[in-house]
Amino acid sequence: MKKINTIFTSAIIGLAVFTSSCVNDLNVQPLDPTQITASKAYTDSLSYAEGLNKIYSVWALSGQDGAGASDISGLDPGNTVLLRSWWTLQEQTTDECKNAWPDSWCAEINGQTWGTEKVEPIEGVYQRCMFIVALTNEFLRNISNAPSNVNIPKYKAEARFNRALAYYVLMDMFGRPPFITENNYSSQPSQLSRTDLFKWIESELTAIRPDLPKPRTTYGRADQAADDALLARMYLNAKVYTGTERYTDCISACKRIINDGYSLATNYADLFKADNGENADTRKEIIYPIMFDGNKTQSYGMAAIILGSRSASDYSVVPSGINSGWDGFRSTQNLINLFDFKSGVDKANNTILDKRGIFYSKGRNLNITTSVKGTFTTEGWSVYKWTNITSKGANGSNLAFPDTDFPLFRLGDVYLMYAEAVARGGQGGDINTAVRYINMLRERGYGDKGHDIDAAWLTANNFRNILNERGRELYWEGVRRTDLIRFGLFTSSSYVWPDKGGVITGVGIDNKYDLFPIPQTDLSVNGNLSQNEGYTN
């Protein structure tokens, strides 16, 4: 299989030198590709740290030589950073976000009308997740030869977590990716069923947990709480992946995290600012971040999310810590309408009561009612949730590339997962505790107890109150597509939003769009792969 062979070569010549366990202190230097072989790449203890950190870096960096470099030939280094591609597929396909850029892929992602031809974000997620798999497999094939001063069990566990996370994303988005480990290498790997892949990821996460660091010991590294957070997310969506509910297991994983000593940040907005990885108040909520440093880890991962949500004409009107705006991502009216407004006040004035609603509306219509093409000017509110301003009001270290970390897992989501799993009948939880967790989030959002909920709220309207609360708490954090699929609403005609199905007023679409197609670039070189149902090549 050419793609896997190419990726394995990249895994060797693409190793980088990471001199600290914290990405915000990285010194990234490429090794000489003319001298690197598998035997030379892994020699002393530093080289194993380099290899492990290269695996971590794939979420944040497109390549080793700055924002214009790509580890994988044929992938645009800007559009296909893994975080950016994954976020785009998780948000721009949903009721939370649309993008009016003229890029060829934008209309397909906005309208859920993609086919099997190359679509940049789809290709980016698939190939870069498989790149993590390849890097990890090569690392694990060599780690047994590491010198005695390397903590081999810990290094192996961290690498396997990264591979399990990559396979989780592939399972969630593609259903049945090619499956390959250090133990079953093949030039043409075959696919597991989605159920079997779920079982394998679960077994990996369970097996490595004892060897991972204790929670809250090293920010930005895989630890036992990150392991449990990924398990909880899998269990919450298990019925989608396997046909079998696992709400009781979701509750157990959430309880382990909650008992690890995490607590909610005082100020919601600070969770998405330039110093969220350094601020002790936000770090106590963040379980596992994708880390960025504007000077040392430059890419269009986090940058695209922040720059893309501002307009060139008004990015400086509200302090944002950046030097431009791209007129791209905007909220839909569906997202804005989740929030409570002051009674008797026109919504155009952006008088949202909930402090979690961080938007910019001046000169813009709430509703997107015209074709989503070209750049946005007057339709759709900007989302200013993410910013490159610190909690003290200072700019980040670089006005083009943010310092802001992306919390892939945080306690606010764990509280919501616990509450939903309890409401749906999972055992081992407590309904009053679930209510308390929801109220803690709402009290932080509203600043008072006047919007607290009761137990009946949790199950009302087929659990839609919980889905709406997840929208208010977690919007633009990369979970919405997965949430809508779990609730049966991603393709349904019973719930629509602007441009759903390529129609500005929104229509239901084929259920095949619950999964993305396996890229033709892989199918064409591997006869052991089959396309997802409903797609034709």
Q: What is the pLDDT of residues 73-111, one digit of tens each?
A: 999 898 899 999 999 999 999 999 999 898 889 999 999
Domains held by the chain: number:
1
C-alpha 232/C-alpha 206 separation (Å) is: 12
**Identity (one letter) of the amino acid at 240?**
V
Structural domain includes residue 90: yes
Chain Cα centroid distance, residue 427: 28
Q: Please check the confidence at residue 319 and state whether its pLDDT lies above 90.
A: no
- What is the pLDDT, as a whole number, of residue 123? 97
For residues 144, 147, 150, 154, the Cα torsion angle rounded to the nearest 10 degrees is: 10
In a domain, 269, yes or no: no
Angle at alpha carbon of residue 470, lines to 465 and 472, rounded to 5°: 95
Does the residue 415 lie in any domain? no
> What pLDDT shows up at residue 529?
97
Q: What percent of the chain has pLDDT over 90?
A: 81
Mean pLDDT of 169-173: 98
Nearest Cα to Cα of residue 180 among 520, 529, 531? 529
Mean pLDDT over 355-372 rounds to 90
Task: Report the percentage of the chain scoring pLDDT > 70.
Answer: 92
Amino acid identity, position 42: Y
Q: Summarize the confidence of residues 450-459 as an average pLDDT.
A: 98
Q: Does some domain include residue 532? A: yes
With bands split at pLDDT 50, 70 and 90, how would you rate the model's confidence at 38? low
Considering the domain boundaries, does residue 472 fall inside one? no
Asked if residue 262 belongs to a domain, the reply is no
> Could you write out the DSSP letters of every residue in 478-528?
S-HHHHHHHTT-SS-TTS--TTGGG-TT-----GGGGSPPPPHHHHTT-TT
Tell me 182's DSSP state: T
Structure confidence at residue 37 (pLDDT): 53
Domain with 2 in it: 1-192+492-537
Q: What is the pLDDT of residues 180-215, one digit of tens each?
A: 999 998 889 999 999 999 999 999 999 999 999 999
Q: Alpha-carbon distance 323 to 347, whole Å?
A: 29
Q: How high is the mean pLDDT of the chain?
A: 91
- pLDDT reported for residue 537: 67
Per mean pLDDT, which range of 19-28, 354-363, 420-429, 514-523 is the poorest? Answer: 19-28
Cα separation values, 318 from 173, 312, 322, 358, 398, Å? 35, 12, 11, 11, 17
pLDDT level of residue 514 (50, 70, 90 thresholds): very high
Determine the Cα–Cα distance for residues 485 and 475; give it in Å rounded to an integer: 15
**How high is the pLDDT of residue 462?**
95
Give mean pLDDT, residues 145-151.
Answer: 95
| CA distance linking residue 57 with residue 138, whole number of Å | 16
Assess if residue 8 is contained within a domain.
yes
Beta-bridge mates of residue 352: 341
Domain-located, residue 299: no
The CATH number of whichever domain residue 61 belongs to comes to 1.25.40.390
